[in-house]
Amino acid sequence: GANTIRVYTVMMPGFYEALYEYNSKSDKKLYFFQGLWYDETKIAETMDAYALLDEAVSDAHALVDIIHGNAVIGERAGEAYGEYKYDVSRYAIGWILGIESEAEFVSNTNKVNKHKSKYAGKYLHTAKGASPYEAFMCNLGDKTLSYEMERYDMQRPVSWSNWPTADTLTHKNEPYQESEDSITI
């Protein structure tokens, strides 16, 4: 009975083909939020979101091309690849950029990038008092929106994935109080 699903990362071309074929034959369309996965190995090595920025932007641009049925991704171990030729962009409700970011990763990004607490792009900008991590997220989101507008004259909502322990709420039953709820995004 669902009408919308979350797609956590790039899927193999068969997924987008099946979605296209299903929606072309059904009165009840299936929509999706397309996720963008960050390289967890690079996160562990650097503990700095800005070390991921260029790759994340490149991956986001590839995702834009993928949902528009305009991409060929070479074979990569453990990752989706192939020819993406089915335009499912009309069924993409929005972007969910990134993975749940642990407190240590966010804290270290903020610490080593103190001078990067502002971002002003074409579509997104940081508010006063933003953290460097929030500026990173804003930068990635703006570059994703800009690319899709430039290439396809389309735009959709953008959001980010987050841990409950990095949200603005206090969780009194967290098992690791010293690190849980220690950062807010």
Pick from 117, 122, 121: nearest CA to 136: 117
112: amino acid identity, one letter: V
8 Å CB contact between 131 and 149: no
Give pTM, 2 decimals. 0.92
Average pLDDT value for residue range 79-104: 94
Chain-centroid distance of CA 46 in Å reads 19
Average pLDDT value for residue range 19-27: 97
Which pLDDT belongs to residue 173?
A: 73
Classify 13 as helix, strand or coil. helix
Which pLDDT belongs to residue 180?
A: 66
- d(C-alpha 125, C-alpha 107), whole Å: 21
